[in-house]
């Protein structure tokens, strides 16, 4: 059997555009002589449509995109993710399902059983589960078992801990499936690509059954789907690995047993870089922005965002604005100008010193003489820059990119309505130490200093007061970031983090900063954040602003 992976990038609610992409992929599969073409989960409507799945009009016309797709399947079989109305009065109004089509006929609809509600997922809010949905389909004489995303992710022989008692994929294998098809909308986070490979290969080898695992690709608000779809044969060998972070429509002969590792991603820093580029590109494109703007300070964060933006939407569409204040070093301007020359993007200088002096006098504030002496005056500079950037965004129709990193945002080292302004927080889930790694990797891949080394090596500073450096207010990032990583990504307790070798006083200081209501208040007003890790700042992390929880060091 020839099988086509149709890893496509869809847009929430673009029913006509999504259907056109699906049909174009079907036509390519036909031209390749394919027997079966497989699409990701919910590609007709967009998996991250959220409460649109509760809209009466969406529910009433749920099957209309499928009618167009069925009509285009003459001579080929198709598995495509979609929705269908729930005919019962009880439960959620729709099912998340896989439509199985062959030669112009709808063979059946397989409803999703296991509905995730962790991290960025909230499936039980929108979908009704169907625990009796298992069935096999005869496609070209092969018994094919179809499962939808989470229904594949509960293998008791692979996972140490499981969230559900049942394993729908195991059920279709027990029914005699000779091929398992899993359609997915599995977002990217660090380590996820390799995890999927291991999971699919393990089940294929353990059950002696080939597996077609197709995943969504594309950015949707802050959630980034990496694709990286794969096919494993009954020996557990990966015989096709789709490219990550791009659309991929390719065909493979299932019984060739020839390993194919074209798309397997190696270095995680490269994967984070590629995810951020895709996230910027799709957020801009899907929201109608052709150009962007950002504040360029001469520091590493804004420099990296500028480089990523140029790669995502083209340097001719990127505007970097330098906004020196009385405390900006001469080197910051010169370093920024060197970066702009390297990137070949547009730039301009909009000084804030005069306006700052006027407002100081009007508000009867003292100009800072050292960091932390006059926070209102320090923050005023950041907010003036925010006003300028938002004015440019409004006047020129540019997407404003926020440049703050996760380390700063976690502990509140940022200015609300200042450097947190923007339409997209590019580095909001990227730790400071990861920012440096990505910047160095960009230079390594380019074989030249795209981001000047003097920027990468510069001692971090907000430059809102004389001789101000981040380490005056924060622990060194090299000590802080491992603690943040254990807390956010592995959900470790303070005691576990201390047991891993971190200083108890530092651990409790950092975590109480993270969880302080004032800092949660800031984070909940951030623009959408591109997510590259588990339990990230953003839609996957839910905390109240108003609370009295405090970590107490009892060690």
Reply yes or no on whether the pLDDT at 136 is more than 80: yes
- Please give the domain boundaries of the chain with CATH numbers for all domains: 2-266 (3.60.110.10), 272-473 (3.40.50.620)
Select which of 149, 197, 345, 414 is catalytic. Answer: 149
**Residues 167-216 pLDDT 10s:** 999 999 999 999 999 999 999 999 999 999 999 999 999 999 999 999 99
- Burial bucket for residue 216 (CB in 10 Å: 0-12, 13-18, 19+): buried
**Residues 442-465 pLDDT 10s:** 999 999 999 999 999 999 888 888
Integer Cα distance of 277 and 312 in angstroms: 5
Instruction: Report phi then psi at 501, rounded to 5.
Output: 110, 15
Q: Which residue in 356, 303, 307 sits closest to 331, CA to CA?
A: 303
Integer Cα distance of 456 and 153 in angstroms: 40
Strand, helix or coil at 388? helix
Chain position carrying tokens 């990861």: 434
Average pLDDT over the chain, rounded to an integer: 94
Reply yes or no on whether the pLDDT at 262 is more than 60: no
Reply yes or no on whether the pLDDT at 265 is more than 60: no
pLDDT band at 257 (very low <50, low <70, confident <90, very high): low
Q: Which residue in 438, 398, 454, 446 sits closest to 422, CA to CA?
A: 398
Reply yes or no on whether the pLDDT at 542 is more than 90: no
DSSP letter at 115 equals -
Q: Average pLDDT in the 5-14 region?
A: 97
Indicate if 112 belongs to the active site.
Answer: yes
pLDDT band at 112 (very low <50, low <70, confident <90, very high): very high
**Residues 490-518 pLDDT 10s:** 999 999 999 999 999 999 999 999 999 99
Integer Cα distance of 555 and 193 in angstroms: 38
Integer Cα distance of 217 and 9 in angstroms: 5
Reply yes or no on whether the pLDDT at 371 is more than 80: no
Q: Which residue in 185, 193, 45 sits closest to 121, CA to CA?
A: 185
Give the total residue count for the chain: 555
Q: Where are the alpha helices (DSSP H) in 414-490?
A: 432-446, 453-456, 477-489
Select which of 21, 112, 406, 432 is catalytic. Answer: 112
**Residues 516-525 pLDDT 10s:** 999 999 999 9
* Distances from the Cα of 247 to the Cα of 189, 221, 244, 439, angstroms: 18, 18, 8, 25
Token reading at 283? 């957020």
Integer Cα distance of 499 and 438 in angstroms: 29
For the sheet with 318-322, list strands across it: 346-349, 318-322, 292-295, 399-402, 424-425
Select which of 41, 250, 378, 408 is catalytic. Answer: 41
- Percent of the chain predicted with pLDDT > 70: 98
Could you list the beta-strand ranges (E) of 229-365: 230-232, 238-241, 248-253, 292-295, 318-322, 346-349
**Does the global pTM surpass 0.85?**
yes
Indicate if 41 belongs to the active site.
Answer: yes
Compute the chain's Rg from CA coordinates: 25
Reply yes or no on whether the pLDDT at 261 is more than 70: no
Which pLDDT score, from 0 to 100, does residue 555 have?
64
For the sheet with 77-85, list strands across it: 105-111, 94-102, 77-85, 36-38, 2-7, 248-253
* Distances from the Cα of 124 to the Cα of 130, 270, 305, 539, 540, angstroms: 12, 34, 36, 16, 15
Token reading at 406? 């996760």
> DSSP letters along 327-370, please?
T--HHHHHHHHHHHHHHT-EEEE---HHHHHHHHHHHT-PPPSS
**Residues 211-248 pLDDT 10s:** 999 999 999 999 999 999 999 999 999 998 899 999 99
3-state secondary structure 148-205: EHHHHCCCCCCCCCCCCCCCHHHHHHHCCCCEEEEEECCECCCCHHHHHHHHHHHHHH
- Percent of the chain predicted with pLDDT > 90: 87
> Picking from 105-114, 150-159, 281-290, 326-335, which range would have the lowest pLDDT averaged per residue?
326-335
Residue 54: partners with Cβ closer than 8 Å, 6 or more residues away = 93, 126
């Amino acid at each position: 059997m020839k099988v086509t992976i149709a890893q496509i990038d869809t847009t929430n609610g673009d029913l006509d555009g999504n259907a056109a992409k699906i049909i174009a992929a079907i036509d390519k599969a036909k031209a390749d002589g394919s027997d079966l073409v497989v699409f990701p989960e919910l590609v007709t409507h967009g998996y991250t449509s959220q409460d649109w799945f509760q809209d009466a009009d969406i529910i009433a016309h749920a099957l209309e995109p499928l009618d167009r797709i069925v009509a285009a399947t003459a001579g080929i079989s198709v598995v495509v993710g979609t929705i269908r109305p729930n005919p019962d009065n009880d439960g959620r109004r729709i099912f998340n399902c896989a439509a199985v089509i062959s030669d112009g006929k709808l063979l059946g609809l397989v409803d999703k059983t296991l509905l995730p509600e962790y991290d960025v997922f909230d499936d039980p809010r929108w979908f009704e589960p169907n625990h009796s949905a298992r069935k096999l389909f005869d496609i070209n004489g092969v018994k094919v078992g179809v499962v939808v995303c989470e229904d594949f992710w509960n293998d008791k022989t692979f996972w140490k801990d499981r969230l559900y008692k049942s394993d729908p994929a195991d059920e279709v294998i027990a029914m005699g499936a000779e091929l398992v098809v899993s359609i997915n909308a599995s977002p990217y986070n660090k380590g996820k690509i390799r995890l999927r490979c291991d999971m699919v290969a393990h089940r294929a080898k353990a059950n002696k059954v080939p597996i077609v695992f197709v995943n969504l690709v594309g950015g949707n608000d802050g959630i980034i789907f990496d694709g990286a779809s794969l096919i494993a044969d009954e020996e557990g060998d990966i015989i096709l690995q789709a490219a990550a972070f791009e659309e991929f429509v390719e065909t493979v002969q299932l019984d060739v047993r020839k390993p194919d590792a074209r798309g397997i991603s190696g270095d995680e820093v490269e994967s984070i870089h590629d995810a951020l580029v895709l996230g910027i590109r799709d957020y801009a494109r899907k929201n109608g922005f052709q150009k962007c703007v950002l504040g360029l300070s001469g520091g590493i964060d804004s420099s990296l965002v500028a480089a990523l933006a140029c790669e995502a939407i083209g340097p001719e569409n990127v505007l970097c604005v330098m906004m020196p204040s009385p405390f900006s070093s001469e080197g910051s301007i010169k370093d920024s100008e060197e970066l702009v020359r390297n990137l070949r993007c547009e730039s301009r200088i909009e000084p804030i010193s005069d306006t700052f002096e006027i407002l100081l006098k009007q508000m009867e504030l003292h100009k800072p003489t050292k960091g932390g002496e006059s926070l209102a005056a320090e923050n005023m500079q950041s907010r003036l820059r925010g006003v300028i950037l938002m004015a440019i965004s409004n006047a020129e129709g540019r997407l404003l990119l926020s440049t703050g990193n996760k380390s700063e945002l976690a502990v509140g080292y940022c200015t609300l309505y200042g450097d947190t302004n923007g339409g997209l927080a590019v580095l909001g889930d990227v730790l400071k130490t990861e920012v440096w790694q990505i910047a160095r990797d960009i230079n390594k891949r380019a074989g030249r200093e795209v981001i000047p080394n003097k920027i990468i090596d510069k001692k971090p500073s907000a430059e809102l007061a004389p001789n101000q450096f981040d380490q005056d207010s924060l622990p060194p990032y090299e000590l802080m970031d491992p603690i943040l990583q254990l807390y956010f990504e592995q959900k470790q307790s303070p005691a576990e983090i201390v047991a891993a070798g971190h200083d108890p006083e530092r651990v409790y200081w950092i975590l109480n900063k993270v969880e302080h209501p004032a800092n949660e208040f800031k984070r909940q007003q951030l623009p959408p954040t591109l997510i590259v890790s588990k339990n990230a700042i953003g839609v996957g992390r839910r905390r109240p602003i108003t609370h009295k929880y405090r970590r107490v060091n009892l060690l």
